[in-house]
Amino acid sequence: TATASKLNIGQKLSEGKTKQIFELVDQPGLVLVQSKDQITAGNAARKDQMEGKAAIANKTTCCVFKLLQESGIKTAFVQQHSETAFTAAHCEMIPIEWVCRRVATGSFLKRNPGVKEGYRFTPLKMEMFFKDDANNDPQWSEEQVLAAKFSLAGLTIGQCEVDIMNRSTVAIFEILEKAWATQNCTLVDMKIEFGVNVKTREIVLSDVIDNDSWRLWPAGDRSQQKDKQVYRDLKEVTPEAMQMVKRNFEWVSERVQLLLEPQASGRVVVLMGSTSDMAHCEKIKKACTSYGLPCILRVTSAHKGPDETLRIKAEYEGDGVPTIFVAVAGRSNGLGPVMSGNTAYPVINCPPLTPDWGAQDVWSSLRLPSGLGCSTILSPDAAAQFAAQIIGLSNHLVWCKLRASMLNTWVSLKLADQKLQACSL
């Protein structure tokens, strides 16, 4: 906040029901997003000042965007500025609300009579609503969005852009769902908005994600819901009722910070037969680091120093930290199979194959005595990815990075194809 307080705030660019957007004079391309201290429901038909609400919304947004950003999702969020404001990339907003549902409830039940509350959507149910207060934000089909031919920051919103937003919404939902599950909380549904970054012309998650943006049911129990629905359901706005809504908000704000904390530890230990395999091992380590996984490199040969191999193994079995061993041994890989026969932890063979003997050498990793369950992965990046997938089963932060990476790969392919098609026209 030292730098934050020096922000040279320029003119107001826009104002909505819950926040104001200001230009930043010295930072072209960035804006200040300032929350207003009020809660709205039913299109602002009902407005009540709620002290501290802005601060709570700020904290929620900051934690959620930090989680998404660290996972690798592209967002407008830059950094928190004050208790009630953050800086963000200046975007031209796409006037569509993307709604993603895991469990049927609320307006979905009204629009789809006959569906029982609690019905689970797999895959997730996606809906789009055109942001139009005067008409109560009508639901739009994909065809309607395409027909509107929105053009923002020089980017026309066509099929490719709609597909990217659709896929991104699913990934964002799954990441937040996974994170809330660590708090025994079901993410029931969520609504988000995208913008086009005026500088990069990329589609990024924009606006905010706060209590107004989702339904959360602790332990999947609707009666304990901790979201804005409590406010919508109030028969009468009494000071006591507002206190209850505020306490619910506080419940969320206390927990939202925990979403950023790893719920389980984990590490990768790379064993190499010789330091001549160092470059191969460094690649594994670099890829592990990209998933936030600690990676330790050790040198040991199961052929020449089996006592040392087993001693090193015991070091990592002794402290209770879930560990994945990666064995890097050229020529005849004794290391991985010996480890696999002597530990209950997972072992991945990642032999550094050479062009001359590789086709023969690989069999020492593949053809094993019975009772061994080690896997073999040739690419160092892929070995690290597989280790991350194992750790990701119990560590949501690692899982979220894998999930975002999958989305980003999908988007890159889509954009590469679009570019190629445009060139060949």
Ligand X SMILES: *[C@@H]1O[C@H](CO)[C@@H](O)[C@H](O)[C@H]1NC(C)=O
Q: Which residues bind ligand ADP (CB under 6 A)?
A: 14, 16-19, 21, 31, 33, 76, 88-91, 93, 195, 206-207
Q: Pick from ligand ADP, ligand X, none: which does 21 bind, CB < 5 to 8 A by kind? A: ligand ADP
Q: How many Å apart are CA 335 and CA 271, to the nearest integer?
A: 8
Reduced to 3 states, what is the DSSP secondary structure of residue 98? Answer: strand
Q: What is the footprint of ligand X within residues 138-167 (CB under 6 A)?
A: 142, 162, 166
- By the 10 Å C-beta count (0-12 exposed, 13-18 middle, 19+ buried), 263 is classed as middle
Question: Minimum CB separation from ligand X for residue 166, in Å?
Answer: 4
Q: What is the footprint of ligand X within residues 13-52 (CB under 6 A)?
A: 39
254, 323, 325 from 314: Cα distances, Å: 39, 11, 12
What's at 119, amino acid-wise?
Y
Closest CA to 209 of 41, 64, 347, 322: 64
Longest CA span, the chain: 80
Q: Pick from ligand ADP, ligand X, none: which does 249 bind, CB < 5 to 8 A by kind? A: ligand X
What's at 150, amino acid-wise?
F
Closer Cβ to ligand ADP, 20 or 389, answer by number: 20
Q: What is the footprint of ligand X within residues 63-82 (CB under 6 A)?
A: 63, 80
Identified binder of ligand X from the candidate list 7, 24, 32, 53, rule CB under 6 A: 53
What's at 396, amino acid-wise?
H
Q: What is the footprint of ligand X within residues 263-302 (CB under 6 A)?
A: none
Question: Minimum CB separation from ligand ADP for residue 96, in Å?
Answer: 11
Q: How many Å apart are CA 222 and CA 211, to the nearest integer?
A: 16
Span from 57-65, 201-209, 232-240, 293-301 in contact with ligand X (CB under 6 A): 57-65
Reduced to 3 states, what is the DSSP secondary structure of residue 338? Answer: helix
Determine the residue with CB nearest ligand ADP.
16
Closer Cβ to ligand X, 252 or 326, answer by number: 252
What's at 263, amino acid-wise?
Q
* Contact string (CB under 6 A) for ligand X, positions 238-257, x = contact: --------x--xx-xx--x-
Q: How many Å apart are CA 14 and CA 34, to the nearest integer?
A: 11
Count CB neighbours of 423 within 10 A: 7
Question: Minimum CB separation from ligand X for residue 423, in Å?
Answer: 26
Q: How many Å apart are CA 408 and CA 167, to the nearest integer?
A: 10
Identified binder of ligand X from the candidate list 69, 183, 342, 343, rule CB under 6 A: 183
What is the radius of gyration, based on Cα positions, of the chain?
26
Question: Minimum CB separation from ligand X for residue 112, in Å?
Answer: 15
Residue found by looking up tokens 């943006």 in the block:
213
Closer Cβ to ligand ADP, 94 or 312, answer by number: 94
Closer Cβ to ligand ADP, 206 or 385, answer by number: 206
Closer Cβ to ligand ADP, 90 or 228, answer by number: 90
Q: DSSP letters along 180-232, please?
A: HHTTTEEEEEEEEEEEEETTT--EEEES--SGGGEEEEETT-GGG--STHHHH
Q: How many Å apart are CA 363 and CA 125, to the nearest integer?
A: 46
Q: Pick from ligand X, ligand ADP, none: which does 128 bind, CB < 5 to 8 A by kind? A: ligand X
- Answer yes or no whether residue 211 interacts with ligand X by CB under 6 A: yes
Closest CA to 392 of 103, 121, 182: 182
Residue pair 214/67 in contact (Cβ under 8 Å)? The answer is: no
Q: How many Å apart are CA 32 and CA 300, to the nearest integer?
A: 54
Closer Cβ to ligand X, 170 or 362, answer by number: 170
Closer Cβ to ligand ADP, 63 or 91, answer by number: 91
Closer Cβ to ligand X, 226 or 313, answer by number: 226
Q: Pick from ligand ADP, ligand X, none: which does 99 bind, CB < 5 to 8 A by kind? A: none
Q: Pick from ligand X, ligand ADP, none: which does 55 bind, CB < 5 to 8 A by kind? A: ligand X
Question: Minimum CB separation from ligand ADP for residue 74, in Å?
Answer: 12
Q: How many Å apart are CA 334 and CA 423, to the nearest integer?
A: 51
Beta strand 295-299 pairing with 267-272: parallel
Closer Cβ to ligand X, 103 or 295, answer by number: 103
Closer Cβ to ligand ADP, 34 or 182, answer by number: 34
List residues binding ligand X (CB under 6 A). 39, 53, 55-60, 62-63, 80, 83, 126, 128, 142, 162, 166, 183-184, 210-212, 228, 246, 249-250, 252-253, 256
